[in-house]
Structure 1
Amino acid sequence: MVCFCFLVDQTKEMQSSKPAAGICSRCGGCASVADMKTATRFCYVPFYCKSWKAIVCTFCGAVLRSYHH
């Protein structure tokens, strides 16, 4: 019997950000609009990348709203 185990991971990276009006509903920190990039890897080889915009908290890092395009 052979058992295969593959490593799949996903990383979220903030490309750039600028201040936005509003506060975080979780911690009360300031919000910012950020260009995000999600990369999914399979056995350390990237096979899927997606770019999207999100409103994130500058203090706790929570994604408050996401805009996929």
Structure 2
Amino acid sequence: MVVFCFLVDQKRKLKRTKPVAGSCSRCQRGASVADILTKTRFCYVPVYWRSCKAIVCTFCGATLKTYP
């Protein structure tokens, strides 16, 4: 018996943000440093968690740079 299951999703959650000097290169608004938790699930079973720091725009939500 063969069962194929290709349902994969990824959720990102901002844990903490802190304002940073500088602006977004896309919309020229403010930016902040954020701790991001990324969860990857395969068939509703969590298989991978990753936590990193990133510079995120506070207006458009674009991720400008990530740090491991």
Question: Structures share a fold, TM > 0.5?
Answer: yes
Identity %: 64
Give deviations 1:2-44, integer Å, cap 9, x for gaps: 6623201111111110100000000111000000011000001
How many residues align? The count is 67
Give 5+ residue unaligned stretches, structure 2.
none
Query: 1:26 aligns to what?
Result: 26
| Paired letter, 2:26 | R
Match of 1:42 in 2: 42
1:43 and 1:5 mapped to 2: Cα distance?
7
1:58 to partner: Cα distance? 0.2
Q: Please, what TM-score do these two structures have when normalized by structure 2?
A: 0.91
Give, in whole Å, the separation in 2 of the partners of 1:46 and 1:29: 35
Unaligned 5+ runs, structure 1: none
How far the C-alpha of 1:59 sits from its partner, in A, is 0.2
Give me the whole-angstrom Cα distance separating, in 2, the residues matched to 1:41 and 1:3.
Answer: 18
State the partner residue of 2:17.
17
**Pairwise CA RMSD:** 1.2
